Amino acid sequence: MTYTPAQIADHIARRVAAVGEDSPDVQIIRQLMGERDRMREALIECREEIDACIQHEYPHDHPVQERCRQRDYAANPARIALAALTTQEQVHD
């Protein structure tokens, strides 16, 4: 099961109230959230770099090149991973 950022923040707030800010549970959750956020930022950067390469490969507005760009954008692994993360977060909103 996945949880939304709001659900996680609510859980942390309850844990902090129950056991304090220095609780290993709270520290682990905060660490994992930080790592997730850093990975998301790295994926965004990768998506943008790969998309720029695709745009460079097919620079013209000809319909054939547009189809190739759209095909390659859809196959961009960073774009796919970000879409999966976003979908997981929206499932529980």
| 75/7 Cα distance (integer angstroms) | 31
**Residue 7 one-letter amino acid:** Q
Q: Which own/partner contact pairs does 69-74 have at CB distance under 8 Å and 24+ positions apart? A: none
Number of structural domains the chain divides into: 1
Render each residue's pLDDT in the chain as its tens digit; 93 residues.
677 778 888 888 888 899 888 888 888 888 988 998 999 999 999 999 999 999 999 999 899 999 999 999 999 999 999 988 876 665 544
Domain membership of residue 67 as a residue range:
5-91
**What pTM did the predictor assign?**
0.73
